[in-house]
Structure 1
Amino acid sequence: MQILSVIVIIGVLVFVHELGHFLAAKWLKVPVKIFSIGFPLGNLPPLVKFNWGETECQLNILPLGGFCAFIDDEKDGERDPNDQKFLNNRKVWERFVVISGGVVFNFIFAIIVAVIMFFSLGIPEGREFTDGVVVLDIKGSSPAEKAGIKPLDTIVSVDNIPLNFEYDLNQAMNSIIQSKPDAKNADITYLAANGERVEKNVKLNADKTIGVNAEEVRGILVTQIIPAGPGEKAGIEKNDIITKIGDQNFIGVRNPEGMMKKVLADHTSAKPIDIQILRQGVTKTYSAVPDADAKLGVGIEYIKGLQIKNNDKAIDKALLPVNSIILEANKSPLYDISSVMKLLIAKHKDGTPANVMVKRQGADIPLSIVPDNTGVMGVQIQSAIKEIRRAPNSFFEPFKASFTFIANTCVLLTEALFRMFTGHMSLNEVGGPIMVV
């Protein structure tokens, strides 16, 4: 089912892209010989084909892309340099319009989809972290399927250990590291002082720890600063971590972004509000006056990790700088309860059954699961995170939200690609907070 969904999504995106090339060519009266979704395989004929004017429309067997074929693609015969039916004989700006038509149509399509999404689903107001782990998909004939787990089940406990949003991060980190008894090293990912996510392979002490004293930190990471916005005017900088706003901190808060927005919205206009931030291990307080839309003019991202306060017992002190914030251990995010569940299930790779409690349509269902000899039960999971949305305040708000969403997505993708090509991001980070256990 997943493969079919991916094929359909790729097919729609390819169709929109090639339609952009096609309509641009039609507008300029450049003949299009073939309009194809999918690529042909050898000498196999198209699955579907029909003629539309001078164009043969095709649906081919390989769903990996598509193409528009022009007269220029014919290898036989001579070409009249003055014949305007050939794309290469057209002016530079005309060729540019045809070539860029696909990208332009993809962008327009993205805006249309985003507007429809925000009109129908509402405007995002943050995320609510709930207890448990949601099952997204199940591998056929896996231990999970045999035990009776179904997609969209929420696993709430393993061996009577609750999978709660609130848990000890230090204990979680040590459990992740010590889940490999023979390991002498651990991969630690932390947020450096400059905001960069850094991954280091560090040596373990005799007690199978990394030898640091760390305290839990949770709050809102400032990912960007809007020039001349309230945040910048107040002195807030990119990579600051907002730990308190007004009288509210983020301890126990399950909808952190929403809480921050509500505090700002409830704040009396034109009066400053105190904002406590953590910057390179130092706590500071600034006063900011939110704008007319009750915003600070900063990009935000919830963060939950362990701040290194002391590294005296670490073997690799230079690799674990004080005040950096540990986010992952051995590729497992500390903030994600999925990591804890993965460890609990892996303990039963010896063939003993794991007692799993799932919630299905409001009912608690106990199941017994024996994972395979690698400690995997064959499910794709994600922490139970609910997106909070509200109805648009005006007709134009979804349009504004769409442009903001697409602009932010473009920035994030550009930054991610840059980090990947410069070696600062591993491919493991691309998949997001979804894992298979």
Structure 2
Amino acid sequence: MSFAWAKPYEPKTALGQWMDDRLPLPRLVYGAVGGGYPVPRNLNYLWNFGVLSGIFLTIQIVTGIVLAMHYNSNVGTAFWSIEHIMRDVNAGWFLRYAHANGASFFFIVVYIHIFRGLFYGSYKAPREMVWMLGLVIYLLMMATAFMGYVLPWGQMSYWGAQVITGFFSAFPVIGEPLRVWILGGFAPDQAALTRFFSLHYLLPFVIAGVVVLHIWALHIPGSSNPTGVDVKNEKDTLPFHPFYTAKDGWFALLFLGAYAAVLFFLPNALGHADNYIEANPLATPAHIVPEWYYWPFYAILRAFTVDFILPAKLWGVLAMFASILLLFFLPWLDRSPVRSGHYRPVFKRFFWLLLIAIFFLGWAGGSEATPMWIAISQIASAYYFAHFLIILPLISKFEKPLPRPSSISASVLHGEEEESAPYGLAKNA
């Protein structure tokens, strides 16, 4: 779709023309994120978190590469190499805290990005592939973060690896051999640490590759928007640059300010104190708990306490994996023709109930496995699956949506197209 303001890329120098004839990378960038890319004009600040995700991925890759120069993936020295980084390497403490807290902030922005997609129906046609590639990125993030958490070789690193890989032993016949194959032995040791370090270094580059596919898939149908209404004409859009580069830029600085505040003043707030104790296979921590971004899934795992046909542990593992995999089928579970939750009054109420259930799952996952928290996990887990498998299909079938605006421009300009349209678009249309 070409618009009047979308000027074609024109090299301004002889070198630029030479480059454009042989490797048109500037032209590609211009078409992807420059003035040649039309974006719906009504995007709110929830659409900034996609760019923020890319920023934090870059932070993780850069800090991870430098940390890898000083890290020693040996069970006898891994813990002390981290101490060496913190105490002896110039700005090592900054790099280590930036990487550790960067993982948490990466998950924060990705979770907000996912919940925005859930509310505004960003998974609906024609953006199913964008949604599924985003979920692949999320799964790769979870795997990368788990292996990275093992590398400091503290108490929580060791026992976290022991518990998480123990999930696979719940599968009959193949479970235990699969666990031994993953670890390279019967318990976390040198083989596990070496392969986890290798994969933790590799996977961020795989994530970056899938991000490119994610952006590529997004550019085919174009960005979604808060109304869920398709772009109809040039009045509905603005060029990505300078309008959204400015909007994304200042918001990124604001969010990075919050990241810096945690990094400098609360660097250990999102971690666990036991990980400052060197790994000891003979001393089990009183309360083994994964990182906070795994807590909802950990609660789902622990919600199954009764053997029924299959062992309770196997039910928990299956439910934990299913809680993510069912999101891949969301475009077909939600059959409503209306995308945005703003125009779906019944869906909106159940969406907030879903967020409450996930909040309690997270709280329960980070708490000790007392009868009260187990019961809360069971109730919240039941609602989580019921929301996607029962409630959402029924809502999409029987809900009566509210009237939607006739166009994106009508929803934001309110009849002032002549005065508000950029570059005199309305007058020239």
With the length of structure 1 as denominator, give the TM-score of the two structures.
0.21
With the length of structure 2 as denominator, give the TM-score of the two structures.
0.22
Q: Greater RCO between the two (CA within 8 Å, min separation 6)?
A: 2
Q: Relative to total residues, which structure has the larger helix share, 1 or 2?
A: 2
Larger Rg, first or second structure (1 or 2): 1
